[in-house]
Structure 1
């Protein structure tokens, strides 16, 4: 639950594609849009890549002529192996 005045909020949601068969994401939001900035950061746990972190900035208006705001969002994405499962730690024999 997000509380007013909190500096960080966390939400979980599915990503919406701009077109049904396309790869581009729909980042439109109310009175503006979110635009990716910088390079994606790899998240590593115990020496294994487990996800990525992407920084996005909110712009008021319509792309590409929106006005940049000071709102920043970090999008986290888990890496999924080709079989559809998350990477697991390899079990070691006892």
Structure 2
């Protein structure tokens, strides 16, 4: 599956990714889409939830409560931390001129 996704990303003229947690953006599959000067001109949009959003419902808190039922690591703000890490990772690419 990773090879198929990598191939599709390589030939795509635009890419939109909706994600929140995990390190999928940091894996080799997305490296070409995030690399400055990748083959062809790409428009890449990465949509991430705002970890500082206020007001009920707190989507991140609700999702973390769901996730902890099948993965006990997701408690105490772990999901919010993963989102912040993804934002920092993407921000580093923006600052380096990858977009």
- Structure with bigger helix share is 2
TM-score (norm 1): 0.25
Higher relative contact order (CA 8 A, sep 6+): 2
Q: Which has the higher strand share?
A: 1
TM-score, with length taken from structure 2 = 0.24
Q: Select the structure of larger CA radius of gyration.
A: 1
